[in-house]
Structure formats: C-alpha cells, structure tokens
Chains A and B, each alone.
Chain A
C-alpha cells in the first residue's frame, strides 16, 4: 500500500522557469514531510521539510507547500537551474515514529 505517491515520473522545465513537483499522501497521521534530491550514483540528500503546523516553508529557491485538507504537498523551484536536474523524492513520517514513507520519485530535467 503506497501511502505516499508521486504521480509524475518525470518533468521537463526550461532553465529560469518554475519547477513544480507534486506529492500526495493518504495517511492523515503524517505530520512531517520532507523532500530529497538524488543524483545518479549518489544517495538521496535532504532538501527541505515542512511540519504539519505550517502550510509553507521557504529556503532560497526552494519552497514547499502543504495542503493538509487535500493531503497534498508540492515543491517549487524558482528559478530552475540545470544543476537541479535530478530525481526528487517526497517523504512523510510521524513525529514519534522513525519510519519514513517515500514516494516513487519524479525525475526533473532542467533544459539550458
């Protein structure tokens, strides 16, 4: 049972434009959400997170939005750069539980 879903396996964006990556979850008990970026032959690296008490968290070019009623979160990258080309995973957890649930990833390609 996939509790975290990323329905777009790939996304192509022109350099300088906005990239929007989407993630849906089914478990209303999740209260912490994270985005990871993964380059080929490397492990996932933490990018940005958001607590369920917030609806937005911003870090430089990266902003994560959380819509709890829709059980949906999105990652916005503005402006997109070719170095952002990677696979992006969203993940969810409950604060008192160590287990992370990951989506299947979205491969972002930022074209120069």
Chain B
C-alpha cells in the first residue's frame, strides 16, 4: 500500500484566513482524493484530483472555497479559503489502489478555526 504524508498535521487558524494542506505520496498515482470529516460525522468526499486536469468537486463543494492543485503524480494541495468556524474538521487525502479497489489514507490535518 502507498505511504501518504500530510502537512500540517494540525493548525489553528483565524476566521477569514486561508490554509493550504499538502499531501505527498511515495509512489505515482493517477487519482487522489480529498475528504473532510466533521466532528462525529462520516468521511465526506470534497473532490477528486487527477494530474493534469481540473479537480472534480462533489455537490456542496466549490473550487473558490476549496481550490486544489495536482502538479504531478505524487503531490496535491487543498486550500481551505476564507475560513469560518464551520470549516473546523479533519481533512484527509487518499489514493486509490486500482488493482484492489481500495483507498489508502493520509494521517489527516486537524483544522480548528477560531
């Protein structure tokens, strides 16, 4: 399985600011995914990021709020823009193992917006 790292592991941010979360994978992958897990909730897919193309966003998530970059096959960033306390969540990136139909997750970024 792929080894995935995320930076930062946690942050406390002020309302109205933006935070960029980095996701690094130890192997080349076609698709990367960004999820949000709000307190006590399930994992919700924000968007799917393919290298070389625009990210595909799920219903309820927009590019202006969550811009994503995917410059190469091992790296992606998610920016949480103009943050409000409702954005306080754990943000997770994942990659798919196409052979096994499984997804592997990074350790997550715990974001608190005050």
Contacts and interface: CB of A to CB of B under 8 A. Distances in A.
Interface of A: 2, 4, 9, 32, 34, 36, 41-46, 49, 89, 93, 95, 98-100, 102-105
Closest 5 CB pairs of A and B: A43-B105, A104-B42, A102-B43, A102-B42, A43-B107
A45 B105 contact: yes
Contacts of A44: 43, 92, 105
Given A42-B107, A43-B106, A99 B1 contact: no
Contact of B41 (A42, A99, A104): A104
Interface stretch (B13-21, B77-85, B96-104): B96-104
A46 B101 contact: no
B4 A43 contact: yes
Interface residues of B, number: 26
Contacts of A46: 1, 102-104
Contact of B43 (A2, A49, A89): A89
Interface of B: 1, 4, 9, 31, 33, 40-45, 48, 58, 92, 94, 96, 100-108, 110
Given A43-B4, A43-B92, A46-B1, A100 B40 contact: no
Given A42-B107, A104-B42, A34 B102 contact: yes
Contact of A93 (B48, B101, B104, B106): B101
A34 B43 CA distance: 14
A105 B42 contact: yes
13 contacts: A9-B40, A41-B9, A41-B108, A42-B107, A43-B105, A46-B103, A93-B101, A99-B58, A100-B45, A102-B42, A102-B43, A102-B44, A104-B41
